[in-house]
RNA sequence: GCGCCGGUCGGAUAGCGGCUAUUCCAGGGGACUGUAAAUCCCCGGCCUUAUGGGCACCGAAGGUUCGAGUCCUUCCCGGCGCA
């Protein structure tokens, strides 16, 4: 029932094509995992999901648990609630970071750009990373002095950590105090919730760290994550769910190796790499590649490997090349809602005035229902976005998810046919 | 002709004596990586030696005042009412 089989390994890289068998269906890997945080893919109905060629959806323990509140005990399980295909749930560990440190520092993710306002005081205090990002995005060559000054601010920010934090991490677990009120999540609770949610794959409770965290904190955090991993294993009562252990360790080589070595020898059915730094300010793109290179040698080859929260198309190609099997990311769905449509020639913003009245297709040879069946033109979709019609985001979401899923299908085929590197080069050149 | 009301960015608005004229929409640009996100940020009169700085500006012209988009006078324009 729960089984992972590698069908073909690439000769020149660590890429592999395989099959992940779950009680609710088969996932051909490598596969892009669609994000359905609250038990639904944003903007899509249950009937829309199969149209996108989605194989696996990831929902979130923390958000479902907090949103459902009283109704949680009566929750019928995600398969009845969302769709009857393969589902994984994230442990809620990410929220220890995103609602805590990440929020404090105005980061969408590790050092990413997020200058949305919270309270004015906090915004001002935590605006350094966002300010640097903004500076970089506006100016081609910020001077060293500017960046240095901003980084000094960043360090000041770190020293203010935990004061006013909405999340307090202890040895045992994490205390939250957010819009839902106060709550406490630890390994046992996370696993109990994930068993109740009923996903085919569940994830051990962990604590991600940021590039802004120093070695000392990252090491302490790693020890917590390892301890929580053991507790997560011990807490499980169901045998019809796979459990993935999570590798952490920031951008520190010895910590990553220590983590992968420790997690890799535990009795998990699969492994996830967390805290992987996508390309963003404060986390050079190379960091993610290094993290994968350091970690994967310690993970049992025959078990599936998931890369948490990644990513962009280039990242996916690289991760496949380095031996990863699945990836979840918000990009296809979020960017769709924001008007960014993906094509094999890159993405474009459908809201721009230039598309008004355009008879051009989103992508001429796209096989998604929006392009191939509805034959929607850019002009039509532009108008829907401008009219704030709710179908705009839905159609864009269907297209983008299909695009990513179809890309992964082509990647799988290229691995099976022995032409992965050629396909990667060709695709990225046209993008 | 008389009376009233009103003219503030492309449109709509706030400000009714005191820092740098508000907000929304439309327009232009950018971002988005285990979802605080169908969201957020920036631009939007002119000049400039440009991470800054300077000069304009609230229909027009005068006036009062230390200080006027704001008060006064006249004019222009629009709406409504009365002849």
What percent of chain A is modeled with pLDDT above 70?
Answer: 84
Task: Show which residues of A are catalytic.
Answer: 90, 328
pLDDT tens readout for residues A387-407: 999 999 999 999 999 999 999
What are the residues whose beta carbons fall under 8 Å from the beta carbon of A373, sequence distance 6 or more?
Answer: none
Query: Beta partners for A328?
Result: A33
Residues in chain A: 431
Confirm whether any atom of chain B, the nucleic acid strand, is less than 7 Å from CB of A241. no
pLDDT at A153 over 70: no
pLDDT tens readout for residues A309-347: 998 999 999 999 999 999 999 999 999 999 999 999 999
CB A285 within 8 A of CB A291: no
Chain centroid to CA A33: 8
| For residues A140-159, average pLDDT | 34
Q: Which of A156-160, A191-195, A267-271 has the lowest mean pLDDT?
A: A156-160
pTM of the entire structure? 0.88
- A420-430 and A390-416 helices cross at what angle (nearest 10)? 150
* 3-class DSSP string for A96-155: HHHHHHHHHCCCCCCCCCCCCCCCHHHHHHCCHHHHHHHHHHHCCCCCHHHHHHHHHHHH
Kind of pairing, strands A167-169 and A340-343?
Answer: unpaired
Residues (46-65, chain A) with CB within 7 Å of strand B atoms: 58, 60, 63
pLDDT at A69 (0 to 100): 87
pLDDT tens readout for residues A61-92: 999 999 998 899 999 999 999 999 999 999 99
pLDDT at A277 (0 to 100): 66
Residues (158-217, chain A) with CB within 7 Å of strand B atoms: 179, 203, 206, 208
Q: Which bases in strand B are touched by protein, i.e. have an atom under 7 Å from a CB?
A: 26-42, 51
- A313-321 and A390-416 helices cross at what angle (nearest 10)? 30
The two tokens of residue A309 are 């929260």
pLDDT tens readout for residues A342-367: 999 999 999 999 999 999 999 999 99
Confirm whether any atom of chain B, the nucleic acid strand, is less than 7 Å from CB of A45. no
pLDDT at A269 over 80: yes
Q: State the sign of the Cα–Cα–Cα–Cα dihedral A299, A303, A308, A312.
A: positive
How confident is residue A121, by pLDDT bands cut at 50, 70 and 90? Answer: very low
CB A402 within 8 A of CB A52: yes
CB A84 within 8 A of CB A57: no
What percent of chain A is modeled with pLDDT above 90?
Answer: 76
Q: Which of A5-14, A139-148, A216-225 has the lowest mean pLDDT?
A: A139-148
Q: What is the ipTM of this complex?
A: 0.84
A391 CA to B58 C1' distance (Å): 42
How confident is residue A280, by pLDDT bands cut at 50, 70 and 90? Answer: low
Which nucleotide is nearest to A327 if distance is taken from CA to C1'?
A: B34
The two tokens of residue A288 are 């993610």
pLDDT at A335 (0 to 100): 97
- Average pLDDT in chain A: 86
pLDDT at A211 (0 to 100): 81
Of A256, A238, A148, the closest CA to residue A201 belongs to A238
A331 CA to B75 C1' distance (Å): 61
| For residues A413-424, average pLDDT | 98
How confident is residue A289, by pLDDT bands cut at 50, 70 and 90? Answer: very high
The number of CA neighbours under 13 Å toward the Cβ of A180 is 15
* Cβ neighbours around A327 below 10 Å, total: 25
Kind of pairing, strands A167-169 and A57-60?
Answer: unpaired
Confirm whether any atom of chain B, the nucleic acid strand, is less than 7 Å from CB of A383. no
pLDDT tens readout for residues A293-304: 999 999 999 999
pLDDT at A118 (0 to 100): 29
| For residues A131-144, average pLDDT | 33
CB A342 within 8 A of CB A404: yes
pLDDT at A169 over 90: yes
pLDDT at A179 (0 to 100): 78
Which nucleotide is nearest to A208 if distance is taken from CA to C1'?
A: B34
Cis-peptide, bond into residue A30, ω within 30° of zero: yes
């Amino acid at each position: 029932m729960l089984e992972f089989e590698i069908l073909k390994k690439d000769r020149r890289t660590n890429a592999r094509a395989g099959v992940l068998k779950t009680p609710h269906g088969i996932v051909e890997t490598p596969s892009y995992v669609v994000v359905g945080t609250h038990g639904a893919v944003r903007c899509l109905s249950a009937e829309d999901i199969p149209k996108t060629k989605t194989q696996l959806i990831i929902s979130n323990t923390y958000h479902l648990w907090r949103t459902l509140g009283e109704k949680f005990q009566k929750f019928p399980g995600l398969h009845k609630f969302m769709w009857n295909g393969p589902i994984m749930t994230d442990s809620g560990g990410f929220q220890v970071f995103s609602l805590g440190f990440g929020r404090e520092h105005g980061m969408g993710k590790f050092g990413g750009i997020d200058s949305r306002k919270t309270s004015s005081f906090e915004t001002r205090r935590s605006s350094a990373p966002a300010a640097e990002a903004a500076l970089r995005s506006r100016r081609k060559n910020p001077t060293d002095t500017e960046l240095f000054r901003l980084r000094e601010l960043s360090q000041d920010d770190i020293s203010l950590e935990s004061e006013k934090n909405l999340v307090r991490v202890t040895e045992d677990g994490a205390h939250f105090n957010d819009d839902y009120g106060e709550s406490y999540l630890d390994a046992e609770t996370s696993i109990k919730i994930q068993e109740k949610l009923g996903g085919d794959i569940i994830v051990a409770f962990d604590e991600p760290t940021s590039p802004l965290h120093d070695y000392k904190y990252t090491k302490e955090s790693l020890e917590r994550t390892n301890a929580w991993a053991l507790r997560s294993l011990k807490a499980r009562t169901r045998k019809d769910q796979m459990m993935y252990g999570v590798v952490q360790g920031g951008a520190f080589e010895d910590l990553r190796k220590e983590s992968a070595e420790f997690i890799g020898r535990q009795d998990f059915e699969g492994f996830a790499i967390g805290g992987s730094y996508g390309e963003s300010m404060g986390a050079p793109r190379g960091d993610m590649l290094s993290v994968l290179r350091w970690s994967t040698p310690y993970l049992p080859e025959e078990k599936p490997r998931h890369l948490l929260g990644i990513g962009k198309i280039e990242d996916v190609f690289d991760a496949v090349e380095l031996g990863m099997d699945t990836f979840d990311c918000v990009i296809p769905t979020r960017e769709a809602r924001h008007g960014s449509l993906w094509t094999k020639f890159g993405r474009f913003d459908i809201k721009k005035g230039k598309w008004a009245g355009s008879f051009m297709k989103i992508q001429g040879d796209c096989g998604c229902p929006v392009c191939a069946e509805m034959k929607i033109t850019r002009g039509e979709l532009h108008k829907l976005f401008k009219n704030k019609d709710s179908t705009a985001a839905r159609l864009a979401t269907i297209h983008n998810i299909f695009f990513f899923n179809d890309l992964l299908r082509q990647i799988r085929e290229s691995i099976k046919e022995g032409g992965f590197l050629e396909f990667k080069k060709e695709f990225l050149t046209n993008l």
